[in-house]
Structure 1
Amino acid sequence: MADETFPSADLAGELNPGKNTHVEVDPISSEVASTKEMKEEAAANQKKKDIERKESLEKLKSAIIISGIVVALVGAAFAITKKLREK
């Protein structure tokens, strides 16, 4: 029956938590917490990549539209100069 008693308390450690350097870590809780942190970090990285991908597609789209406008303006300028030379 002596084996079934509570372990003795560390009064100095309990009363002075700043001096208590021995900290017991529950391995299961620690693993769950680290797994959760890794999942959150992976989700944040994925979200960041998605945002960067969307931004790069928007930049590409803008560049294509601007290029199209420039080509149209150059074509119109050539057409106008050709008409003016014919007259």
Structure 2
Amino acid sequence: MASPPENSDETFPSADLAGELNPGKNREVEVDPISSEVAATKEMKEEVAATEKKKEIEKKECLDKLKSAIIISGIVVAVVGAAFAITKKLREK
């Protein structure tokens, strides 16, 4: 393996020895833009998924309430109809 020429720009950047040896004094945080973008995208996807799931749950609850209301209304109508039928039969006798 050949070593790169001395005038090449493909060398490693110089290290910050003070920052590396004393991490408590290093106040400048370097953020990897690719990692933060991936994390932000993941968070947005999770938020969208949670919102969609919440909407589906609310929709299901609304449908359950409507279904219950229809069933209860049907039972009430049947009971009232039966009561009218019984009173009509009793009046005929």
Normalised-by-shorter TM-score class: 0.7 to 0.9
Match for 1:34: what amino acid? Answer: A
Match for 1:55: what amino acid? Answer: E
Q: How many residues align?
A: 87
Q: Given the alignment, which residue of 7, 13, 22 partners 1:7?
A: 13
Q: Given the alignment, which residue of 62, 86, 90 partners 1:56?
A: 62
Q: Given the alignment, which residue of 75, 82, 85 partners 2:88?
A: 82
CA distance in 1, matches of 2:17, 2:45: 39
TM-score normalised by structure 1 residue count? 0.83
Match for 1:17: what amino acid? Answer: P
Q: Helix, strand or coil for the counterpart of 2:23?
A: coil
Q: Which has the larger radius of gyration?
A: 2
Moved more, 61-70 or 26-35: 26-35
1:36 equivalent in alignment to 2:50 = no
- Gap runs ≥5 in structure 2: 1-5
CA distance in 2, matches of 1:75, 1:17: 83
Query: Going by fraction, where is helix more abundant, 1 or 2?
Result: 1
TM-score normalised by structure 2 residue count? 0.78
Q: Helix, strand or coil for the counterpart of 2:25?
A: coil
Q: Helix, strand or coil for the counterpart of 1:22?
A: coil
- Gap runs ≥5 in structure 1: none
Identity of aligned residues (%): 85
